[in-house]
Amino acid sequence: MRILLVEDDELVADKLVKNLISQNYAIDVAADGQAGWELVDAFTYDLILLDVNLPKLDGITLCQRLRSQGLRIPILLLTAHNSSSDKVMGLDAGADDYVTKPFDVDELLARIRALLRRGSSTSSPILEWRKLHLDPSVCQVTYNGQPIPLTPKEYGLLELFLRYSNRVFSRDLILEHLWSFEELPGEETVTAHIKGLRRKLKAAGLSEDPIETVYGIGYRLKAAEPKQPKSKSKRTKKSKQLSSDLEQQAIDTAINVWQRVQEKFTSRVAVIEQATTAMLRDDLDESLRQQAQQEAHKLAGSLGMFDFDEGSNLAQEMEQLLEAQMPLQPKQRQRLAELVAAMHQELERAINQQNPQLLKIEN
């Protein structure tokens, strides 16, 4: 879960950050209201901790602005004033809850957990999937009563899937929920943590993987109970229409996601092609070389995630050449140009082959 803390007192902020990180939350910090507004505009948050007395833009005004934009992120106010009028003002501005400074950290953490439950698909304090239990109050995961040691990110992944069991999370969305903007890694990091989580759950005795991979979209929690055989009774016209609408929604979502993926692949190849062209003209600067090398690295990981292994291999070879000592030898330059041409062909093949209307589920 990713939290934005808007607090101008460094001592208070430092203490809160340490306690929140200990509970496996990803934290971004803004020292004034305007910076907080800009972060909310740029990133996705599960909850906002908002001080009332802030420079540039006070907490009450920021809260009103967020609500006026239709943002329903849970907001917990931190106020130094204990009068009922100040509390009423904050709640009327759209805050969901408040705590008065100085506050008890354990109480604050409990209020955060309660607010996060409001937006999740379960109201129970304990998140469950069959015999797999996650207790946010002590950050513990157990299966059949036996604890499972997880890294903070593995814990965060499992909590995200359990808390929002009906949602499909793309890798980008997972990054936004579980990493702060200062430590934001590439999408391949998500895949690595998913693999680690699955491995530990299997080692703990889970015979079935609770996490489904939805190709072309991301990941979701598998239904806890096996699907019951369909009844032979006649379905009503209304239920048929509902099913059709849901199916169309899933198709539209898949198409939109796949279009964004295509754009990202294409833009990354464009940077590599630009660097290759400059290299062939003996006009490649260090900044463009580094950017192209980074894009090749990301492309190798993202293509691999979507099972485009050939494209991933091409990108890896590109990355190796772009990492090599400059200037490249004539044969190396020619090979890089060949790889770019091959990558264009591979992307065209992958785009024509991929059908987002058919969502394949990896069990």
With cut-offs at 50, 70 and 90, classify the pLDDT of residue 357: very low
- Residue with token string 């943002």: 71
The CATH number for 73's domain is 3.40.50.2300
- Does 105 share its domain with 131? no
* Domain assignment of residue 19, yes or no: yes
* Domain assignment of residue 233, yes or no: no
The CATH number for 169's domain is 1.10.10.10
Q: In this structure, what is the dihedral angle of CA atoms 81, 92, 61, 12, given to the nearest 10 degrees? A: 40
The CATH number for 274's domain is 1.20.120
* Domain assignment of residue 243, yes or no: no
The dihedrals phi and psi of 9, each to the nearest 5 degrees, come to -85, 110
Q: Residue 76: count other Cβ atoms within 10 Å of its Cβ.
A: 20
Distance CA(333)–CA(314), nearest Å, equals 15
- Does 151 share its domain with 51? no
Instruction: Please write the tens of the pLDDT for every residue from 253-264.
Output: 556 656 666 787
Distance CA(245)–CA(236), nearest Å, equals 14
- Does 139 share its domain with 200? yes
Instruction: Please write the tens of the pLDDT for every residue from 311-355.
Output: 878 988 998 899 888 888 999 999 999 999 999 988 888 767 654
Question: Which whole-number Å values give the CA distances from 250 to 121, 196, 216, 255, 361, in the listed order?
Answer: 19, 28, 12, 9, 13
Amino acid symbol at 318: M
- Does 113 share its domain with 134? no
* Domain final position from 167, 201, 221: 221
Give me the residues paired with residue 284 across strands: none
* More confidently predicted of 24 and 259: 24
Closest among 360, 351, 358, 363 to 214, alpha carbons compared: 360
Average pLDDT over residues 292-299: 82
Q: What is the pTM of this model?
A: 0.50
Closest among 298, 295, 317, 266 to 171, alpha carbons compared: 298
- Does 9 share its domain with 58? yes
Distance CA(317)–CA(338), nearest Å, equals 11
Provide the pLDDT for residue 183: 75
- Does 78 share its domain with 139? no
- Does 37 share its domain with 131? no
* Domain final position from 118, 140, 157: 118
Distance CA(135)–CA(159), nearest Å, equals 9
- Does 33 share its domain with 67? yes
* Domain assignment of residue 213, yes or no: yes
- Does 23 share its domain with 75? yes
* Domain assignment of residue 289, yes or no: yes
* Domain assignment of residue 235, yes or no: no
* Domain assignment of residue 38, yes or no: yes
* Domain final position from 91, 118, 145: 118
Distance CA(345)–CA(341), nearest Å, equals 7
In percent, the amount of the chain with pLDDT more than 90 equals: 34
Provide the pLDDT for residue 161: 92
- Does 113 share its domain with 147? no
CA atoms within 13 A on the CB side of 307: 10
- Does 111 share its domain with 18? yes
* Domain assignment of residue 359, yes or no: no
Number of domains into which the chain is organized: 3
CA atoms within 13 A on the CB side of 226: 3
DSSP string across 134-174: EETTTTEEEETTEE----HHHHHHHHHHHHTTT--B-HHHH
Range of the domain at 75: 2-118
Question: Which whole-number Å values give the CA distances from 84 to 76, 90, 97, 240, in the listed order?
Answer: 16, 10, 13, 52
Distance CA(64)–CA(29), nearest Å, equals 20
Distance CA(13)–CA(293), nearest Å, equals 37
In percent, the amount of the chain with pLDDT more than 70 equals: 82
- Residue with token string 């790889």: 339
- Does 75 share its domain with 150? no
346: left (phi over 0), alpha (psi -120 to 50) or beta: alpha
